């Protein structure tokens, strides 16, 4: 395979079709998608087809660019409001008629993941004011007594910086925190507070510190072997609270 070199700036626009065409030979069309593939072919999308935006009719190119920009904006806005992974991963039958939208959100937020029965992913990307979370502020993720994630296996909370969606370098080399974290401290009442911020919260709290970048971030809580309260929605990840 002659894989096309990755260029993030191209992938954000109609140049993504170059990458799509390179991948489509590995994705045989299922019967329900044949009409869709036929429509795609009319604008140069197809298995192994060459794609050069410069050779497009100017009106078609403008329409494609506007369509990609509009769809991207809508997708990002919808993805930012999601708080769990339910409906993002699985077969077409599991995801339903709007599977393309949900798989796109899943890919945007986490590339791929397990089905909900295997693992449940919960996230928060904005604070109470609707703004993207910022690690320069001090945040607390508090699990009340008896409300730790109900799982049969284990759980963790992993930090990611934005816009890269990559792990965050930090002085204690901690990239996630959870029930396997050595030295994690519970309150005397059985509650658990996780401190999320860029600055070290102090010697008495560092055991429960999940370092954040000094800027935008989001985190993902992963629950492996989620129990019924998670799957049925009676247990929810608590909202972050800001400490002034």
Q: Has residue 152 been placed in a domain?
A: yes
Q: At what angle do helices 99-110 and 58-80 cross, to 10 degrees?
A: 70
Question: Mind giving me the DSSP string for 219-234?
Answer: EEEEEEEE-HHHHTTS
Distance CA 99, CA 202 (A): 45
- 141 and 232 share a domain? yes
Can you tell me which residue has the tokens 């140069």?
A: 44
Determine the Cα–Cα distance for residues 120 and 159; give it in Å rounded to an integer.
16
Task: State residue 176's pLDDT score.
Answer: 98
Q: Which tokens in the block code for residue 168?
A: 């965050």
Same domain, 233 and 149: yes
Is the pLDDT at 207 greater than 90, yes or no?
A: yes
Residue-wise pLDDT for 36-61, tens only, equals: 999 999 999 999 999 998 899 999 99
When divided into structural domains, the chain yields a total of: 2
* Residue 102 located in a structural domain: no
Asked if pLDDT for residue 87 goes beyond 80, the answer is no
218: pLDDT strictly greater than 80: yes
Total H helices, total E strands in the chain: 7, 8
Is the domain of 67 the same as that of 161?
Answer: no
The pLDDT score that the predictor gives to residue 212 is 98
168-195 pLDDT, tens per residue? 999 999 999 999 999 999 999 999 999 9
For residues 188, 193, 197, 202, the Cα torsion angle rounded to the nearest 10 degrees is: 10
What percentage of the chain reaches a pLDDT higher than 70? 100
Distance CA 77, CA 8 (A): 20
Structure tokens at 10: 């191209």
pLDDT tens, position by position, 7-25: 988 888 999 999 999 999 9
Average pLDDT over residues 135-150: 97
Dihedral over Cα of 28, 30, 34, 39: its sign: negative
């Amino acid at each position: 395979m002659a894989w096309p070199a990755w260029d993030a700036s191209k992938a954000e626009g109609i140049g993504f079709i170059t990458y799509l065409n390179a991948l489509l030979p590995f994705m045989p069309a299922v019967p329900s998608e044949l009409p869709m593939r036929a429509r795609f072919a009319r604008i140069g999308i197809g298995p192994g087809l060459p794609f050069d935006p410069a050779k497009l009719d100017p009106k078609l190119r403008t329409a494609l660019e506007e369509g990609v920009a509009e769809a991207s904006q809508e997708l990002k806005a919808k993805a930012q409001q999601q708080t769990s992974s339910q409906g993002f991963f699985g077969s077409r039958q599991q995801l339903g008629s709007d599977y393309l939208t949900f798989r796109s959100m899943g890919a945007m937020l986490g590339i791929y993941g397990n089905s909900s029965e295997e693992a449940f992913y919960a996230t928060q990307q904005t604070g109470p004011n609707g703004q993207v979370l910022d690690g320069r502020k001090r945040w607390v993720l508090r699990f009340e007594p008896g409300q730790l994630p109900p799982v049969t296996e284990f759980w963790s909370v992993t930090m990611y910086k934005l816009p890269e969606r990559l792990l965050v370098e930090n002085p204690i080399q901690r990239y996630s925190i959870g029930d396997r974290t050595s030295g994690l401290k519970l309150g005397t009442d059985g509650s658990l507070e996780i401190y999320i911020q860029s600055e070290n919260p102090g010697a008495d709290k560092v055991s429960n510190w999940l370092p954040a970048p000094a800027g935008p971030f989001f985190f993902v809580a992963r629950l492996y072997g989620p129990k019924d309260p998670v799957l049925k929605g009676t247990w929810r990840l608590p909202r972050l609270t800001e400490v002034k």
